A and B are shown apart, each in its own frame.
Chain A
Amino acid sequence: MFGENLLNNYAEAVSMIIFAIGFTNLLLHKNLIKKIIGLNIMDTAVYLFLALKGYIKGRTAPIISNGVIEADKYINPIPSGLVLTGIVVSVSVTALMLALTIRLYKRYHTLDLDEISFRLRKEGR
């Protein structure tokens, strides 16, 4: 069931546990603010995972210094670029979800999505 790299990839396992926590939070919590926090936890776990992907033992960050351009002195630069894109996307959707939560709260004075649905059905609008 478990592969041979479990102990070596412990950092990735931690990032996956955090991902699962965030995912379950987003899916199953009833409070809107806690869902948004779950979304942020989920995205942070993906950044940790990507950061680990690029790492190679014994090498430094991919900024060319002192004119050294051999390929075996720097880590893999691609996952860092993916993380940059991911951070921007995460900030954008968090701002959007918070704006929606503010509108709903101003009208219904509750953060529980189920209660809002119930009251909408009662109002019939």
Chain B
Amino acid sequence: MNNDSLFKRLLSWIRESSESFDEDMTIQDVDENESFGVVDKQEHIENLEMVRRKVYSEKENKSMRRMEAIYRWFAVLFACFFTFVLIVTVSHMPKTGDLNNPANNEVAERYIKEGLKETGATNIVAGMILDYRAFDTLGESHVLFVAAIVVTILLRLDKKEKDGINTSIIETIGEAEKDDKIFEPKNDTILQKVSLIFVPIIIIFGIYVILNGHLSPGGGFSGGAIIGAALIMYLNAFGFEKTGKFFNEKVYKTVCFSGLAFYALAKCYAFFCGANHLDSHISKGIAGHILSAGLILPLDIAVGCVVACTMYGFYAMFRKGGF
């Protein structure tokens, strides 16, 4: 096989794929206790078989084989053409790492030279995203928020279900908890002992990354992700009941609302003062100290809390559909 040329291998791949179909995308056997909503188990198995026979079997559907082959040829050609166009573009672009690139112009120069004086942050990138180009970061934190909202819409299971809504696609809370019992830890010794040691260390590291966002690499987003990971580890070791004692839905909503509202109001005030040439009375502090760089530290803390809650919220929604 390895001695064949590349072209021969490509041809044989295309020919092979038109002879079989990815069977592993649909389940082979049906679990005893699973419920399927509208149809019962027997009918569901019959439906699956009929679909497979009518659509995907080559005996009954000869045009399927031809379509698959054409599709694969088209995919290969398109990928090659697209790669070619991109490489041609890249080959004409300015040299990487060159000093005289158009991108290294007066914009970057001012950020480096005057960045410390105008923003008070020694981390030039943090000064740029939270001070010079803060509008982009304001939008970006709301991208995370809106994604959390849509995941909540899709996955959260609520107690009351109104009459008339098509409930066949919404499973009940009891079924979800029953499914989740597989993942519940059942007091695993190793996991719990290790979490007792590591979770505090990870949280302290996350807080360090957030607080030092304007002095060293880090910032709200990375620190928040680290704290979120610590919370997920705690949940995996101790289960939903223990975690629910200090982190439930009310905490989640409060933290998200206060973080985002504080961010929007603070930035509105800063933009208003800046555009109208008023003095905003926010001191820049001494460079290199923790309490410096004006608004950057409070904004980092707000963003860090929101990101941590959102990461934990994603995990909880995916596992059980609720907190």
Given contacts A56-B104, A77-B112, contact A103 B169 (CB under 8 A): yes
Cβ B51 vs Cβ A16 within 8 A: no
Cα distance, A109 to B25, chains bound together (Å) = 9
Q: Provide the bound-state CA to CA distance between A112 and B90, in Å.
A: 35
Interface string of B56-92 (1 = CB under 8 A from A): 1000000000000001000100110011001111111
Contact with A along B117-129 (1 / 0, CB 8 A): 0000011110011
The B interface, classified by DSSP as helix, strand, loop or mixed, is helix
- Say how far A118's CB is from chain B's closest CB, in angstroms: 6
Please tell me the number of chain A residues within 8 Å of chain B, measured between CB atoms. 68
Closest chain B residue, CB of each to CB of A6: B91
The chain A residue with its CB closest to the CB of B179 is: A106
- The total of Cβ contacts below 8 Å across the A-B interface reads 190
A95 beta carbon closer than 8 Å to chain B? yes
Residues of A participating in the B interface, judged by any CB pair closer than 8 Å: 1-6, 8-9, 11-13, 16-17, 19-21, 23-24, 27-28, 30-31, 52-57, 61-65, 69-71, 74, 76-81, 84-85, 87-89, 91-93, 95-96, 98-100, 102-103, 106-107, 109-112, 115, 118-119, 122
Binding site for A on B (CB under 8 A): 22, 25-27, 37, 47-48, 51, 55-56, 71, 75, 78-79, 82-83, 86-99, 101, 103-104, 107-109, 111-113, 115-116, 122-125, 128-129, 133, 136-137, 140-141, 143-144, 146-148, 150-151, 154-155, 169, 171, 216-217, 219, 221, 314, 317-318
